[in-house]
């Protein structure tokens, strides 16, 4: 019985899969927050590369991956698909469990799959510097790595709470030549406004996005880059699912359940969308596809499908998505990542249409699953990925009850080597379970923009 299912370098996909060609209905338009008009390419041109804007709205089913991008992806791709024999045995489940491991990239997660592509297209457009935000530091370090390979400068606004708690990610960004600034910062109008109200704030992704967008919008040779949520990011991540389908076929397996954790939705989309295509095509009507998230930031399970800003200050396009309200600030006791208030419009639409499902978990049950995984499969997963592990174990236990031999596939989106303080807090019993209260969600949702 095989443990690792490996593809050859030549099998790295030559095209990305674009689910916009196959949606049950088209995405709703995004709106310009200043003019109230639908967004056109000219609205995005000041901060995004031309080709990325084209990809954002493209309905071509497949889009060719440039050779320069493929060359760099081969540093770690195709990534391995593992059969989790030891976890299966420990659970005593008849289910077969597979995981796609994205922790093999140099920064340790799936995020460089899009960082490389984005840095490449910006370089092609003559851009010299990219500004971005980062939460736990995974995205910042991925973009630092990517921009370095294409000779671009990089400034990362890092959520203050993580900047203080996770210094190693900041050092990685430095190793890859980027500048890392705690957010909110006094360098931008958005940052100064927040600091005036609350000098002790631990920040949020929404605030950091506002700072990075403001930085990029003010300079013609600086562009902005987002590590999740947008359509072109989901597109670039599709290599995960495309490879996984090949690898499952090599093991003569077919997925019954596909699982990914969802913050902004990109690693989930990357694994799931090529499978969603089969479901929409009627090839696998019974396939269950589950996005999993924390009860402390329950975007899909408790949020509203509505128009909202992507950031706190209201600089970004207004998009229709599942949201907890752009002013949502996750509780600082929440250690597991996945803290963004919104969700990728593509993932949101599929959730709204009932094509995909969602589940939410408390942080102790999530870390309990992560530790079980480490003690069987060896890999210490990122706390984000641990949400997927929790769902996998629950689904496998359901199979044990029913006797069904389902095939469960999940995206192990990254390793947790720089998140060990969260594991430490779990072992110390210092992680309170927290469910974001319904009345606070309702409060935050009062501020939705009108379109
Ligand atoms: C950033 C990150 C996530 C969450 O982001 P998505 O866009 O939802 O994928 C999940 N896992 C890891 C390891 C991450 O670094």
Query: Can you give the three-state secondary structure of 94-126, one letter per residue?
Result: CCEEEEEECCCCCCCECCHHHHHHHHHHHHHCC
Statement: residue 54 has pLDDT above 80: yes
- pLDDT band with cut points at 50, 70 and 90 for residue 106: very high
- Does any domain span residue 314? yes
Q: Is the pLDDT assigned to residue 437 strictly greater than 90?
A: no
> What letter does residue 76 receive in the DSSP assignment?
T
pLDDT grade for 248, boundaries at 50, 70 and 90: very high
Task: Give the span between the Cα atoms of 391 and 346, in whole angstroms.
Answer: 22
pLDDT (average), residues 361-369:
97
For residue 226 and ligand 1, the question of a CB distance below 6 A is answered with: no
How far apart are alpha carbons 203 and 198 in whole angstroms? 10
Mutating to test ligand 1, I would choose from 107, 413, 414, 418 the residue with most ligand atoms within 8 A of its C-beta, which is: 413
| Among the listed residues 392, 390, 430, the one whose alpha carbon sits nearest the alpha carbon of residue 165 | 430
Whole-number pLDDT of residue 1: 81
**Which spans in 155-255 are helix H?**
160-165, 167-175, 189-197, 205-217, 231-237, 239-250
Q: What's the whole-number average pLDDT of the chain?
A: 95
267 lines ligand 1 (CB under 6 A): yes
Is residue 218, in this structure, part of any structural domain at all?
no
Give dist(CA 396, CA 380) in Å, integer.
Answer: 20
Poorest-pLDDT segment among 115-124, 300-309, 428-437 = 428-437
Element (H, E) at 351: helix 345-352
Write phi, then psi, for 81 (nearest 5 degrees). -105, 125
Is there a domain that residue 393 lies in?
A: yes
Chain mean position to CA 283: 27
pTM of the model: 0.97
Instruction: Say if ligand 1 is within 6 A of residue 265 CB.
Output: yes
164-194 per-position pLDDT tens digit: 988 899 999 999 999 999 999 999 999 999 9
Q: Please, what's the b/e burial string for 132-164 (b: 16 or more CB within 10 A of its CB; e: otherwise)?
A: bbbbbbbbbbbbbbbbbbbebbbbbbbbbbbbe
Q: Which domain holds residue 85?
A: 67-108+232-447
- 261 Cβ below 6 A of ligand 1: yes
| 156 in any annotated domain | no
Does 384 contact ligand 1 (Cβ within 6 A)? yes
Examine residue 191 and state whether it is found in any structural domain, yes or no. no
pLDDT of residue 295: 95
Residue 246's pLDDT band (cuts 50, 70, 90): very high
Residue 276: count of CB within 10 angstroms of its CB: 25
Residue 435 has pLDDT above 90, yes or no: no
Distance of CA 411 from the midpoint of ligand 1 (Å): 10
pLDDT level of residue 378 (50, 70, 90 thresholds): very high
SS3 content of the chain, % helix, strand, coil (to 5): 45, 20, 40
**Mean pLDDT, range 263-267, rounded to an integer:** 97
pLDDT of residue 216: 96
What local confidence, expressed as pLDDT, does residue 232 receive?
98
Number of domains in the chain: 1
| Residue 219 within any structural domain of the chain | no
Q: Is residue 182 part of a domain?
A: no
CATH value at residue 269: 3.40.50.1100
Tell me whether residue 123 is in a domain: no
**According to the model, what pLDDT value does residue 436 have?**
86
Query: Which whole number is the average pLDDT over 311-329?
Result: 90
pLDDT at 451 over 90: no
The DSSP H or E segment spanning 257 is strand 257-261
| Tokens coding 118 | 């984005």
């Amino acid at each position: 019985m095989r443990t690792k299912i490996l593809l050859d370098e030549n099998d790295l996909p030559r095209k990305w899969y674009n689910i916009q060609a196959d949606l049950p209905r088209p995405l709703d338009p995004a709106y310009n927050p200043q003019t109230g008009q639908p967004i056109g390419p000219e609205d995005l041109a000041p901060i995004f590369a031309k080709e990325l804007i084209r990809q954002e709205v493209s309905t071509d089913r497949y889009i060719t991956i440039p050779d320069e991008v493929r060359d760099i992806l081969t540093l770690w791709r195709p990534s391995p698909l593992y059969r989790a024999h030891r976890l299966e045995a420990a659970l005593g489940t008849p289910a077969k469990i597979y995981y796609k491991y994205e922790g093999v990239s140099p920064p340790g997660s799936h995020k460089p799959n899009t960082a490389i592509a984005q840095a490449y297209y910006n370089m092609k457009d003559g851009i010299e510097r990219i500004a971005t935000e980062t939460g736990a530091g995974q995205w910042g370090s991925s973009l630092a790595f990517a921009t370095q390979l294409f000779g671009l400068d990089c400034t990362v606004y890092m959520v203050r709470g993580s900047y203080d708690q996770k210094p190693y990610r900041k050092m990685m960004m430095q190793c890859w030549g980027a500048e890392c600034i705690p957010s909110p910062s006094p360098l931008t109008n958005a940052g100064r406004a927040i600091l005036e109200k609350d000098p002790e704030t631990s920040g949020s992704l929404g605030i950091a996005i506002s700072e990075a967008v403001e930085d990029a919008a003010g300079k013609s040779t600086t562009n902005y880059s987002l590590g999740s949520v947008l359509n072109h990011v989901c597109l670039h991540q599709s290599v995960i699912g495309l490879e996984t389908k090949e690898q499952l076929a090599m093991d003569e397996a077919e997925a019954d359940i596909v699982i990914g954790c969802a913050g902004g939705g990109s690693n989930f989309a990357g694994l799931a969308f090529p499978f969603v295509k089969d479901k929409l095509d009627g090839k696998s009507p019974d396939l269950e596809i589950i996005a999993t998230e924390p009860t402390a930031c329950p975007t899909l399970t408790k949020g509203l499908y509505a128009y909202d800003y992507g950031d706190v200050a209201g600089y970004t396009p207004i998009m229709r998505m599942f949201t907890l309200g752009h002013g949502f600030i996750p509780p600082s006791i929440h250690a597991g990542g996945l803290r963004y208030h919104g969700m990728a419009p593509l993932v949101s639409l599929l959730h709204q249409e009932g094509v995909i499902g969602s589940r939410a978990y408390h942080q102790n049950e999530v870390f309990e699953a992560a530790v079980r995984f480490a003690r069987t499969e060896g890999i210490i997963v990122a706390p984000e990925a641990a949400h997927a592990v929790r769902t996998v174990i629950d689904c496998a236990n359901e199979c044990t009850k029913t006797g069904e031999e389902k095939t469960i596939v999940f995206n192990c989106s990254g390793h947790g080597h720089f998140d060990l303080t969260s594991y430490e807090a779990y072992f110390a019993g210092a992680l309170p379970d927290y469910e974001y209260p319904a009345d606070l969600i309702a409060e935050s949702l009062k501020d939705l923009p009108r379109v």
